[in-house]
Structure 1
Amino acid sequence: MPDPRRGRRNGRVTSRQQHPTPTPAPTPTVEEIARVLALHPIFARFDARALHTVAARCRSVAFPAGEKIMQQGEHGDFALVILDGEVDVFVEIPAGLIHMATLGRDRIVGELGGIADVPRTATIMARTDVAALRVDRDNLMSLVAELPSIAIEIIGELGQRLHSTNQSLAFLTYAANALARGEYDAAMLAELTRQSGALATFARAFSDMAAEIQAKQTRREEMEAAAAIQQSILPGPLPLGAAEHRIDLHADMHPAREIGGDFYDYFMLDERRLVVTIADVSGKGIPAALFMAVSRTVMRNAPAETDMAQRMRDANRLLATGNTACMFVTMFSGVLDLETGRLRYCNAGHNSPYLLRSGGGRDLLKPTGIPFGIDPDRSYTIAETVLASGDTLFMFTDGITEAFNPAGDIFGEARLETVLDREGGIGATELVQKIIGATAEFAAGAEQSDDITCLALVYRRER
């Protein structure tokens, strides 16, 4: 059998003849032709005499597979009734050639060309060898003078088609408006999608598109809800008490997606000790957000009376055990004694925070161990430093230092340190805003590739 794809290259229709010469085919009897014509709405309205008269003036033609039978835009003067084989129907638009349908036995193509001198609305290609009946417009129109009822029936059929088209378009318009309002229901187009024809094909495509839009909308709403939940677990203002006049603290987080894997936390461990934590979970999106929530819960629930090194070991063991996803979290967690300024901390593979001294200069609080979640038996060293009154602790995630601009340049630690040195001595809120603002200005609209989180704490010892 000839290849049904013959005649199509690179998505475009080709043919060996621009104006094909039909191959003669064995001519059926007038009765057989009349029976085939009667299957089509445009001829089904004819009475027996008119139908047989039209049948007598049809002729049999054949087209080999791959032949271009009709060309979109050309004026046609005949219609074809397919007796055997299949044809492909294409419509060309600026975006390319669109396959509309494959039609087979007893279907009619080019019917408008059989009754009116109008441009073809589609290109017809022989998908296989095709045997057909050709109905010439001149023959059909000459019969109108003899049998005026033919014209009446043709007009009636065209009127019915226009009515059906208007009804279909009304359904589609109603469905499109409902989709825009978020009220679309697949049942709106159920009847239309069960029909045949180009508008029914479009309705099925529209239904599929609407279902995908609704699914995306549902996912977006779920992600928005997840983002709201994630924001809700971040800490609010510290309660009034010992910390009120001892520290100035502010933090901010900007996820790269709807939800992220960064988090920060702070809370009073007891009346004089403040816990501050910043962390960055490997990966992004939902898995990172879930691991972030688990990490935050583990750190929050560590018993206050337990030694800090033990708390870190226990937290790491909980995060590493059963971690089949092989996720990990870099984390800096410190405990600040508000009376003395003593800061004991564990840096589990996280970006080194900066300790900006009030008298000038800065220290780096470097890692004291590997990220949590990798080795359940790992021990962690606790380091220590002392904050003087006016010192600022600045903690951040790598979304700041690894921000890129459109040219592919990285923000880097040098630029961060320049901003920190320039803005030294200001309040915590202002410092966080300055850093995030500098990062955004550097990125110049480039897509954010990672979560951006930072926390600033200014210590003020009472005299």
Structure 2
Amino acid sequence: MPLVYGFYFPEAEFQAYLGKYFMIVIFSMGKDMLLMCIAIALVSRQTTRSLRSLSKSTEEIAQGNLDTELTKIPRSDEVGRLSRSFRRMRDSLKLHILELQEATAARQRMESELAIAAQIQQAMLPSAEAAIDPRYSVSTLLQPARVVGGDLYDFFHVADERICMVIGDVANKGVPAALFMARTLSLMRTLAHQSSSPAALLFAVNRELAHNNPECRFVTMFFAMLDLKSGVLQYASAGHDAPLLLRDGQVSKLVLETGPALGLEEEASFPQFEIRLLAHDIVVMYTDGITEARNQDNEEFSEARLQTTISRKAPAFAADIIRCVTLAHQQFIAQAPQFDDLTLLSMQFHPEAKRRKPAFADWQISLNGQPLVYDQVRPCLAGLLQAQQVSEDVVDDLQLITEEVLVNVLKHGATDQDPASIRLDVHLQESAVVLDVIDNSHAYNPLDGVNEPDLEVDFADRPEGGLGLYLVSALADQIDYHYAHGQNNLHIRKFLVKP
């Protein structure tokens, strides 16, 4: 018979014990969970502190503060790698912005310098107002494709009855072309006074440009000389298109055989032609930026369209030529970009126009900026020099020089400008008195033809004129003349003591 053991435990006590045990388990588990949460919070806080600092720094960087300090995280985990990546990003951004600022500053400096260069380039070219002789009128256009360009034009007097006109196109565009253009203009203006014909001038300019030209830069040019008295237009071309002639509403090209562009062949020659202009004839010079311009359909403006534009409008004045061609050109190319410089020069011949010879009282005379009448010039000049303790001999000589020069201008000066003016500028230097006589009369060199008079000839038989200017040349120690910007400039130097 099996042995059976039994235990007796009061139910109330058992239930009490079980409830107590359950509370102990609940308390123990709650304590463990609380400790675990505290541990997790501490670990998380420690772990995310670097991320919070990094987040705050990136917000500063996002606001543009690239000088904000990134917290160093000496860790090799993902957070450390992320921190180092942000640091490299910040440094790269700072370097990029610095380089961008330097590039922007350099570009602004270049743009400013180019703007100044454009102003200088425009200042080198004459305006229509420079055509001071009423026997011709000029209108011009120069529109560079870039800030500065290589096209050029000019017109100026080389004698009282002759004017020069030129238009040219330097190969390429931009600053190098502009510099070559400036050199070409300078050479042309200098050598024009030494050349007797367009062919001779082109030969001389070409020889200078071709010499020491390793870059093989070149310029096409059309050059013409107009005799205002006879109306004969002599011209020659160095690789440039023939101008157009508008006569009685009909447009034709001038007969032309061109030589090579300037700057390529040092001993090149240039065929010369001539034509006699009639009253109201208009000569139109242009560069290929006009005729070779293309529209959005890649169609060329062309010489034929240029001639048709002028003949259809048949402008009556030189300025109207520029306006109608410019309008037709703009309408043709529409929104297409401009690839080449645009240059036009139109000249109209007015042989019947005469210069106005101002009356004696019309002239406005000033001495160092002080308005005077003629009779006041001598005493005012003497008082000015004597106040500077200039010797009486020098004062007397300068008074005579001034009087003779003034009489010469008042007698021979003719101008279409109002008012007619003579400006006397006196400068006392250490060893000399310098007198500049500037008037807005027509180009007239008073030193031309000044020869020593024959004093043995009886006064009644002596030809009129010449003696006063001979005295001026004899009394002055140095005297020079040049004509610029529509003004005669006579530069006279008188030493205080003979060297």
Partner of 1:221: 112
Alignment of 1:61-460 (within 5 A): 145-154=38-47, 156-172=49-65, 196-239=87-130, 241=132, 243=133, 245-308=134-197, 309-358=199-248, 360-460=250-350
Contact 2:155/2:164 (<8 A) preserved: yes
Q: 1:7 maps to which residue?
A: none
For structure 2, the 5+ residue unaligned runs are: 1-34, 68-83, 354-499
Give the corresponding residue for 1:78.
none
What amino acid sits opposite 1:267 in the alignment? F
Distance (whole Å) between structure 2 residues aligned to residue 413 and residue 379 of structure 1: 26
Output the CA distance in 1 between the equivalents of 2:204 and 2:241.
22
How many pairs were matched up? 303
Give the 3-state SS of the residue equivalent to 2:120 in structure 1. helix
Tell me: CA distance 1:144–1:449, structure 2 relative to 1, closer, same or farther (3 Å).
Answer: farther
Give 2:211's aligned amino acid.
Answer: T
Distance in 2 (alpha carbons) for counterparts of 1:250 and 1:208: 47
Whole-Å separation in 1 of the counterparts to 2:300 and 2:120: 31
Return closer, same or farther for 1:448/1:315 CA change in 2, 3 Å cut-off.
same
Q: How many angstroms apart in 2 are the aligned matches of 1:207 and 1:240?
A: 52
1:229, 1:442 → 2: CA distance?
Answer: 31
1:196–1:173 distance in 2 versus 1, CA, 3 Å: closer
Counterpart-to-counterpart distance in 1, 2:85 and 2:236: 66
Q: Any conservation in 2 of the 1:350–1:371 contact (CA below 8 Å)? A: yes
Structure 1: 5+ residue stretches without partners: 1-141, 175-192
Q: Which runs of 4+ in 1 moved over 6 A?
A: none
| Alpha-carbon distance in structure 2 between the residues aligned to 1:294 and 1:162 | 62
Using the alignment, how far apart are the partners of 2:36 and 2:252 within structure 1? 100
- C-alpha deviation, 1:145, in angstroms: 4.1
Q: CA 1:149 to 1:341, structure 2 compared with 1: closer, same or farther past 3 Å?
A: same
SS in 1 for 2:159: coil
RMSD across aligned C-alpha pairs, in angstroms?
2.6
Q: Deviations over 1:38-64 (max 9, x none)?
A: xxxxxxxxxxxxxxxxxxxxxxxxxxx
Q: State the secondary structure of the residue aligned to 1:168.
A: helix
Deviation at 1:240, TM superposition (A): 6.8
SS at match of 1:276: strand
The two structures have a TM-score, normalised by structure 2, of 0.56
Assess if the C-alpha contact under 8 Å between 1:341 and 1:461 holds in 2.
yes
Following the alignment from structure 1 to structure 2, what is the Cα–Cα distance between the partners of residues 371 and 294? Answer: 15
Shift of 1:366: 2.0
The worse-fitting range, judged by mean Cα deviation, of 292-301 and 378-387 is: 378-387
Is 445-454 or 423-432 further displaced after alignment? 423-432
Structure 2 residue aligned with 1:18:
none
Deviation at 1:171, TM superposition (A): 4.1
CA-to-aligned-CA distance 1:231-252 (integer Å, 9 cap, x gap)? 11111244575x1x21221111
Tell whether the 8 Å contact from 1:256 to 1:448 is kept in structure 2 after alignment: yes
Deviations 1:291-310 (A, max 9, x none): 11111111000152532133
Structure 1 Cα separation of the partners of residues 343 and 299 of structure 2: 20
More deviation, 406-415/425-434: 425-434
Q: Give the secondary-structure state (helix, strand or coil) at the position aligned to 1:302.
A: helix
> Structure 1 residue 287: deviation in Å?
1.6
Contact 1:391/1:458 (<8 A) preserved: yes
